[in-house]
């Protein structure tokens, strides 16, 4: 349980909460925890986080997602200020928030390591950009 502070809460949302949203939560916790609280969730869950994503996150970022993360429903996270959808189009879950954006990321599930690494790099760049926008107070949170 985090302390009450003024940091906004950001949710990375995808239908199954097993790959892209989990990667985004892990990267955000790693590089933006000083600016916002990161969560991920979906409208359905998987028994475990995508194992290719787990392996790539260990390889590229030295982050073990399975240590503190698991596939969870949107009802399991606290109310959030910002929702980032991963690119699940019309089936993307709805979650009340003050600001929402869609990152339109392709699901790398079942694809090559290179595709997972490409998606992880895009997520990292976008998390840094989001962090900077929050610092610059571009949102009325």
**How much is the pTM?**
0.93
d(CA 2, CA 63): 20
Residue 140 forms part of a structural domain: no
66 belongs to a structural domain: yes
Show the domain range for 113. Answer: 9-135
Tens-of-pLDDT digits for all 141 residues of the chain?
445 588 999 999 998 899 999 999 999 999 999 999 999 999 889 999 999 999 999 999 999 999 999 999 999 999 999 999 998 766 676 788 999 999 999 999 999 999 999 999 999 999 999 999 999 988 777
Give the Cα separation of 86 and 107 in Å (integer): 9
CA distance 55 to 76: 25
Looking at the 3D structure of the chain, how many domains does it have? Answer: 1
pLDDT of residue 94: 75
State the pLDDT at residue 55: 97
CATH number, domain containing residue 45? 3.40.50.2300
Domain-located, residue 2: no
Inside any domain, residue 141 = no
pLDDT score at 1: 44
Per-residue confidence (pLDDT) for residue 89, from 0 to 100? 66
pLDDT reported for residue 2: 47
C-alpha–C-alpha distance, residues 117 and 125, integer Å: 12
Sheet of strand 82-85, all strands in order from the earlier edge strand to the far edge: 37-41, 9-13, 82-85, 99-102
């Amino acid at each position: 349980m985090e302390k009450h502070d003024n940091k906004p809460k950001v949710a990375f949302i995808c239908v199954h909460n097993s790959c892209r949203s989990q990667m985004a939560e892990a990267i955000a916790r790693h590089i933006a925890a000083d600016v916002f609280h990161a969560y991920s969730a979906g409208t359905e869950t998987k028994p475990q986080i995508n194992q290719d994503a787990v392996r790539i996150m260990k390889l590229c970022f030295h982050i073990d997602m399975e240590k503190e993360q698991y596939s969870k429903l949107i009802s399991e996270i606290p109310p959030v200020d910002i929702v980032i959808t991963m690119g699940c189009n019309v089936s993307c879950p709805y979650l009340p928030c003050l600001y929402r954006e869609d990152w339109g990321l392709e699901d790398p599930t079942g694809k090559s390591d290179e595709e997972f690494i490409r998606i992880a790099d895009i997520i990292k760049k976008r998390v840094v950009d989001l962090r900077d926008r929050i610092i610059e107070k571009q949102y009325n949170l």
